[in-house]
Amino acid sequence: MEIKVLAPAKINLTLDVTGKRPDGYHDIMTIMQSVDLYDTITVTDNDSGQITVSCNYEGVPCDEKNICYKAAERFFIATRNEGQGVHIDIDKVIPTQAGLAGGSTDGAAVLMGLNKMFDAFLKPDELHEIAEKIGADVPFCLVGGTKYATGIGTKLQKMPNFLASHIVICKPDNVSVSTAEAYKKVDALNQEYRTFLNEGKTERECVKLAVKMAEEAGYRDLKEVIAKKETLKAGDKVYAVGMKKMISLFQIGKKPLEEGMAILGAHIDSPRLDIKQNPLYEEGGFAYLDTHYYGGIKKYQWTTIPLSLHGVIIKSNGEKIKIEGEGLLAQAIAHEIDHLEGILFIDKVIPGTLEYSTPEEQK
């Protein structure tokens, strides 16, 4: 018997990567849409007792690595029909390594073709269970349409039909991105961002880190340029820091300033509490921080949350002590007050951070 199944490509109308799982997969939120770009899968049974694959597209593996092979293998295990011989031919039109689910849709087509060929009468949820073990996009490719997908992409929710009469899909021959490599780049970007958040818990720390990154990118301190009485020319890159809480970066252009300039602004911020001078007090057996009440933060939310300390303590002899470390807020403040003779200025409290300032900075 020979059965042909059309395997439609899919596109992602939206895609958010929300996290990496312990099993190596990524949690996502995406809207998937099937489109009328098809591979044709031809399944033929035989007495060989083996699963074989052929494909007209160079570079597609035709062995047990092929997702069609895996789909057939999983199907026969689920239906207790192991040892059955089939040949799967893939007439591929969908470009590979293009995010169009070209492999996944072929695997889904194999499941549908085998279900019909061997009168397995597997229900949609049974096919879905098999599909999950083959690939993250395979369950969607079984049903198609417009779906909201979560988890690794296997939890599907029906959406209103996507109304678009025309969609242009462009895949240059010399541009290919594997799914694995794409996720590696996402992970690398996320790690860079997490590193920045960990190292830049306050405005001052963010600026300090920004200066480091700027200098690595070839920017020079504007104060140094001015001190050396140098003249800036087109292509020069400089930065200027203000009050240790803001930074401006400049790249000198070729045209005169009168013709305008391009400005990109960003606000340095972090979740925190702004607290008053001498904020620590006790009430009802609890230690509280007296805060400037804005942003919806209430004092009692912070009595049991572990915070780390980031800032400066000035001793009475003028010695400056930099504080960076983890610990419970009340314990840490009590320890520093008991062991250091001096003035403690507290600017801000953020989740994981308490920031102090020096007397000079308070003026």
pTM over 0.95: no
The whole-number pLDDT of residue 360 equals 46
Angle between helices 203-216 and 179-199 (to 10 degrees): 130
Q: In sequence order, what DSSP letters do the residues of 20-72 get, joined into one string?
A: E-TTS-EEEEEEEEEEEEEEEEEEEEESSSSEEEEESSTT---STTSHHHHHH
53 in Cβ contact with 62 (< 8 Å): yes
SS3 342: strand
Active-site residue, 125 included: no
Average per-residue pLDDT for the chain: 83
The whole-number pLDDT of residue 104 equals 96
pLDDT tens digits, 46-61: 999 999 999 999 889 9
- d(C-alpha 262, C-alpha 276), whole Å: 38
The whole-number pLDDT of residue 361 equals 45
> Which is the catalytic residue, given 10, 70, 147, 348?
10
SS3 93: coil
Active-site residue, 236 included: no
The whole-number pLDDT of residue 178 equals 87
pLDDT tens digits, 275-308: 666 777 777 777 776 776 554 445 545 545 556 6
Q: In sequence order, what DSSP letters do the residues of 215-241 get, joined into one string?
A: HHTT-EEHHHHHHTT----TT-EEEEE
> Which is the catalytic residue, given 106, 137, 201, 348?
137
Overall average pLDDT of the 329-339 stretch: 41
Residue 343 CB neighbours (<10 A):
14
pLDDT tens digits, 154-183: 999 999 999 887 889 999 988 888 888 999
pLDDT > 90? residue 123: yes
In which element (H, E) is residue 110 found? helix 102-117
- d(C-alpha 221, C-alpha 228), whole Å: 11
In which element (H, E) is residue 204 found? helix 203-216
Phi, psi at residue 63, to the nearest 5°? -130, -155
